[in-house]
Amino acid sequence: MQRIQPDSAISPIYVLNYAKEIIIPLNQSQRTELEEYLETILELYTEEEYEDLVEDIVYHYCKRKFDIEREESVKLFYEIVGDQD
């Protein structure tokens, strides 16, 4: 008969095969490149379209260029837009 150990006896390494993603901020040249790209995008869309369209556009651009996930890319987008106001 096999004895099942309680969760506390199992190493956390094997319980959760999960690594917290480390977010590395953009360097200055990457941020400048993103800001220039956003200038073009923001000329084409209104604030009402940000959530529906622009967030996706920014995410795909950041993923392709800098390998940044959605949460961080959207955060950067609103941070840059806020700095421009």
29-48 tens-digit pLDDT: 999 999 999 999 999 998 88
The DSSP code sequence of 45-60 is S-GGGIIIIIHHHHHH
DSSP code of 63?
H
Number of domains in the chain: 1
Within a domain: 52: yes
Within a domain: 9: no
Render each residue's pLDDT in the chain as its tens digit; 85 residues: 556 555 555 555 554 444 455 556 789 999 999 999 999 999 999 888 888 899 999 999 999 999 999 999 999 999 999 887 6
Whether 57 contacts 41, CB under 8 Å: yes
Query: Beta strands of 1-85 (E only): which ranges?
Result: none
Pair of tokens at residue 73:
């890319």
Within a domain: 17: no
